Amino acid sequence: MMNLPKTPSFKLQGKRALVTGAGRGIGLASAVALAEAGAHVTLTARSQNEIESAAQTIRKQGWLADAITLDVTDLNQVEQFIEHSDPFDILISSAGGARHSAALEVSEQDFDFTFSLNTKSAFFVAQCVSKKLIQHNLPGSLITISSQMGHVGGPNRAIYCASKHAVEGFTKAMSKELGAHHIRINTLCPTFIKTPMTEPALQNADFKAFVEDMIALRRVGEIEDIMGPVVFLASDASALITGSALMVDGGWTAY
């Protein structure tokens, strides 16, 4: 009888996952998806009430979750937290922000804010999680929520695009170093997703029409659209994928 190949598991039982920026939007959706797949999820954000409420609601579903208030731009705080925690098998680095303006009007303050949150904090959280995994000789999957704008340009988004292009760069470079330790690192790159952060811009009818015209599927994304891809990258189903970007952009970057 023929021996058929077996599909690798999408299940995450026994895994510990850290999700930054987990209070709302993509971070919260990622935490829910991982918890539903069986992982014990630690939600972090600066907004204590949001993450505690989210963790409590996740636990009411019978899943495993806790909440830790954490400012990822405070690198000493990040280092101390991870040093005194058990290793995290999975990282979803979702904390991020945007201050959009024309390139000729970008201020140094907005530049520093964007790179500190989107790039610097994502790099050092990944570094800290990786060090702990290596210390315990454990494999892992590190996922940074990047953006389609890490692969293209966009009007009034010079510093945001730059910060996300930098994320794509360090992800490729780190994959070369972490691979020997069986630690994978990838990015997940959404298009415009309906979240509290994008809601004000999408209320502008002209801007929403521009976005929908750029997306081949002709619709703005929902947070549910990223939940399956998150589980895929976190699980054994993507065991040979590292240093890559998973586009969840409805075809935006296909043009």
pLDDT in tens, 183-212: 999 999 999 999 888 888 889 999 899 999
- Residue among 63, 123, 160, 252 flagged as catalytic: 160
Strand order in the sheet with 40-45: 64-69, 40-45, 16-20, 90-93, 140-145, 183-190, 245-248
Q: What per-residue confidence (pLDDT) applies to 2?
A: 92
Which amino acid, one-letter code, is at 135? Q
Q: How far is Cα 121 from Cα 119, in angstroms, rounded to an integer?
A: 6
Q: What per-residue confidence (pLDDT) applies to 148?
A: 97
pLDDT in tens, 95-135: 999 888 999 999 999 999 999 999 999 999 999 999 999 99
pLDDT in tens, 24-56: 999 999 999 999 999 999 999 998 999 999 999
- Give the helix/strand (H/E) hosting 247: strand 245-248
Homologous superfamily of 16-247 in CATH?
NAD(P)-binding Rossmann-like Domain (3.40.50.720)
- Give the helix/strand (H/E) hosting 126: helix 121-135
Catalytic site includes residue 255: no
How far is Cα of residue 227 from the mean position of the Cα atoms in its chain? 11
Inter-CA distances, 66 with 19, 44, 63, 145, Å: 11, 9, 10, 21
How do the domains of the chain map onto residue ranges? 16-247
Q: What is the pTM of this model?
A: 0.95
